[in-house]
């Protein structure tokens, strides 16, 4: 039986192919298990532009996988934010905020973009403008109506296009900071062990976040993200590199065990029990782990065992309590461990 919790985002034919790039979408239409989350893969060619747009029903949190981009966000109160995005950085856009993404890299630029809705909606500046009459647009901008007659307009969004004169990142843009972005890859990991590291992009250190968070999980060979669950958040994983094995235990005594590689995504509903293991003997494994809560909670099996007496555990597992005396009583979760001790 094939695993129900996985979806190969890179193997599908992109739903949108334009002069300037492509967009592949995993949402409830093609990955029915999704609930409260979706994930898109956006690839922009040299000079490619994701047109200015907004999402009426979802916040957005993007992870830059490769290349370099510039983004402008126009927000309520006439807020203008223009900044660069480099690999390993995450960028947050609240629902309804107008934003664009422009590739300023000589080669391609790629994003994994998560939403906190299983069917995120899009409205672009091209289609929305095209839906209005020349008279209304002329009156709005204080020009004659026939001025807009030369615009190439349609009520259907362009989605992705290409600049006629692409900008070179090395000569035009230096790194531009902004409160909408956070350098997750270079942020000191909050969890470090012989098994790997976890860098946390949540509202505790990236204060603008609402309804979404992203962790960067790196597991060394034999590294294991201990069996755990998230009481308040669903999880949507994007495999950046390496090969992982996972088991998800869900209500109804259902066990789903599978392996995943680069470009695959995994959805884990809120509070479902699961673990992640690096099965590559010589290379690190890296996941971008998205959540639909700005402060996702964790409960791990190591701390859970430590919370109960050996008498209680012995009655559950059919053991004499003294047999459990050799088991360490961890008072908090280990989070990341390594096989073999």
User: What does the pLDDT average to over 148-176?
Assistant: 81
116 within 8 A of 212, measured Cβ to Cβ: yes
- Domain boundaries, given as residue ranges, for the chain: 6-182, 184-338
Q: Do domains 6-182 and 184-338 have the same CATH topology?
A: yes
User: What does the pLDDT average to over 280-292?
Assistant: 97
The C-alpha R_g of the chain, in whole angstroms, comes to: 23
pLDDT bucket at 166, cuts 50 / 70 / 90: confident
Looking at residue 15, what DSSP letter applies?
Answer: S
Residue 228: per-residue pLDDT:
98
6-182 to CATH, choices 2.60.120.260, 3.60.110.10, 3.40.50.10860, 2.60.120.10 = 2.60.120.10
Handedness of CA 308, 311, 316, 318 (dihedral sign): positive
**Stated pTM of the model:** 0.96
User: What does the pLDDT average to over 308-317?
Assistant: 97
> What contacts 228, CB < 8 A, 6 or more positions away?
273, 274, 275, 298, 299, 300, 301, 333, 335
Summarised one tens digit per residue, pLDDT across range 9-49 is 999 999 999 999 999 999 999 999 999 999 999 999 999 99
184-338 to CATH, choices 1.10.390.10, 3.40.50.300, 3.10.350.10, 2.60.120.10 = 2.60.120.10
Residue 329: per-residue pLDDT:
95
- Quick one: CA torsion of 122, 48, 214, 203, rounded to 10 degrees? -70
Residue 167: per-residue pLDDT:
63
pLDDT bucket at 170, cuts 50 / 70 / 90: very low
């Amino acid at each position: 039986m094939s695993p129900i919790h996985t979806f190969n985002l890179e193997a599908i034919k992109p739903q949108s192919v334009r002069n300037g790039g492509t967009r592949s979408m995993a949402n409830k239409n093609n990955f029915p298990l999704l609930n409260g989350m979706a994930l898109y893969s956006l690839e922009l060619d040299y000079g490619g532009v994701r047109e200015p747009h907004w999402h009426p029903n979802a916040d957005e949190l993007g992870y830059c996988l490769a290349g370099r981009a510039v983004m402008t966000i126009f927000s309520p109160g006439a807020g203008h934010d223009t900044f660069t995005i480099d690999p390993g950085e995450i960028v947050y856009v609240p629902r309804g905020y107008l934003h664009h993404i422009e590739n300023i890299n000589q080669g391609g630029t790629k994003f994994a973009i998560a939403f906190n809705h299983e069917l995120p909606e899009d409205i672009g500046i091209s289609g929305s403008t095209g839906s209005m009459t020349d008279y209304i647009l002329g009156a709005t901008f204080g020009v004659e109506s026939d001025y807009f007659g030369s615009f190439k307009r349609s009520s259907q969004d362009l989605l992705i296009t290409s600049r006629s004169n692409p900008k070179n990142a090395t000569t035009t843009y230096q790194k531009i900071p902004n409160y909408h972005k956070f350098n997750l890859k270079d942020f000191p990991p909050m969890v470090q062990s012989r098994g790997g590291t976890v860098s946390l992009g949540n509202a505790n250190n990236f204060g603008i976040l609402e309804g979404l968070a992203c962790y960067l999980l790196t597991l060394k060979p034999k590294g294991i993200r201990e069996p755990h669950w998230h009481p308040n958040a669903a999880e949507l994983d994007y495999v950046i590199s390496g090969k992982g094995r996972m088991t998800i235990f869900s209500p109804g005594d259902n066990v789903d065990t599978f392996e995943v590689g680069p470009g695959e995504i995994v959805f884990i509903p809120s509070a479902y029990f699961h673990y992640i293991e690096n099965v590559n003997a010589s290379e690190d494994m890296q996941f971008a782990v998205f959540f639909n809560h700005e402060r996702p909670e964790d409960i791990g099996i190591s701390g859970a065992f430590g919370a109960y007496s050996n008498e209680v555990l012995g009655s559950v597992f059919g053991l004499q309590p003294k047999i459990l005396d050799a088991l360490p009583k961890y008072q908090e979760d280990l989070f990341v461990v390594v096989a073999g001790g």
